[in-house]
Amino acid sequence: MSVSGTSTPGEARLIDGKGFANRLTQDIAEDVRTFYARHQVTPGLAVVLVGNDPASEVYVRNKALQTHRAGMRSFMHMLPETTSQEELLALIGRLNVDPEIHGILVQLPLPGGLDPVAVTNAIDPRKDVDGLGVVNAGRLALGLPGIVPCTPLGCLLLLKSYVGDLRGLNAMVVGASNLVGRPMAQLLLREGCTVTVAHIDTRNPQALARQADILVVATGCSGLVTGEWIKPGATVIDVGISRVRLDNGKTRLVGDVVFDEARRIAGQITPVPGGVGPMTIACLLRNTMQAARELVEGAGGGV
């Protein structure tokens, strides 16, 4: 896929995740049409939301919109906050055997009292389009093809497009979550990077980060990474999205990286919004297409 992005002398090039995600979604829509012509099957994605978290409501609405945009079928299950673990597991059991559903996703975070590990692992690994269950996570750890979590996959597609061959580069991942940091580190390792993972107990992460040609930040701590963390010319991928209130009472989305400082030092950088976020949903559609292919054709086409 072709690369677009803007830069001014002395400023990092902007990595255009939104544009990349739009082109990827168009390509997937073409795959959906070809797949339908061959099998008379339209890929179907079931998204389950429990409770009323406002940010999650926005994300699942966008997922449904983009699913339709790609020509796929969207099945939304909005459950009340009071849903029990048994009720949620029973729904997943039904979706697992529903032939119209090729991908299942349970929006995170779940309300307290529901066990995200048990819920994620109840999803049939062939329909686990979030790639968060032990089967797909294990396949990734072993370097085998499988379904890769959407946000790290989106970061990797941007890196391969904007950096090219990643072999031999020093990569640092800040944050070790199951959703982003850990799978991201596995993907970078698979690409031949020398990978460092910083977490809550890491001593002097700033000094480690200054060695990194690629810096992926996924902590949820807005403004954690200042200019001093960044190696001149590095590629910075900011996964964090926090809504902060400004002095005038309005709100704004910011990342984990202090963008104005980082932009003067990095070689290329993702903005927030418009960077990694849109790639998460485009990669969800990509994973759903992959799952449908494997379920219908029995093809082993994992990443």
**Contact positions with ligand LMY7XDAE (CB under 6 A) in 202-261:** 241, 253
* In the complex, minimum distance from the CB of residue 277 to ligand LMY7XDAE, in angstroms, rounded to a whole number: 2
Residue 200 annotated as part of some ligand binding site: yes
CA angle 285, 109, 133 (to 5 degrees): 60
Our CB check for ligand LMY7XDAE shows the closer of 24 and 41 to be 24
Query: HSE on the CB side for 230, CA within 13 Å?
Result: 28
Q: Taking CB positions, which residue lies at the least distance from ligand LMY7XDAE?
A: 277
* DSSP string for 82-136: T--HHHHHHHHHHHHT-TT--EEEE-SSPPTTS-HHHHHHTS-TTTBTT--SHHH
Residue 18 falls in the annotated catalytic set: no
CA pair distance 223, 205, nearest whole angstrom: 14
Our CB check for ligand LMY7XDAE shows the closer of 1 and 65 to be 65
* Catalytic position from the list 16, 31, 128, 130: 130
Beta bridge partners of 128: 104
CA pair distance 221, 205, nearest whole angstrom: 14
CA pair distance 17, 126, nearest whole angstrom: 27
44 counts as binding ligand LMY7XDAE under rule CB under 6 A: no
Residue 107 falls in the annotated catalytic set: yes
Residue 291 annotated as part of some ligand binding site: no
Residue 241 annotated as part of some ligand binding site: yes
Give the strand pairing for 170-174 and 194-198: parallel
158 counts as binding ligand LMY7XDAE under rule CB under 6 A: no
Our CB check for ligand LMY7XDAE shows the closer of 132 and 208 to be 132
Residue 4 annotated as part of some ligand binding site: no
Q: Is the Cα dihedral 155, 160, 163, 165 positive or negative? A: positive
User: Which among 153, 176, 161 is positioned nearest to 282, based on CA atoms?
Assistant: 153
Directed axis angle between helix 181-190 and helix 134-141, to 10°? 30
Binding residue for ligand LMY7XDAE, selected from 35, 59, 229, 259, defined by CB under 6 A:
59
Stretch touching ligand LMY7XDAE by CB under 6 A, among 25-33, 36-44, 105-113, 161-169:
105-113
280 counts as binding ligand LMY7XDAE under rule CB under 6 A: yes
Cα-trace Rg, the chain = 19
Residue 63 falls in the annotated catalytic set: yes
The binding site for NADP(+) comprises: 175-177, 200, 241
Q: List interacting residues with ligand LMY7XDAE (CB under 6 A).
A: 58-59, 105-108, 130, 150-151, 179, 241, 253, 272-274, 277-278, 280-281
Q: Provide the annotated active-site residues.
A: 63, 107, 130
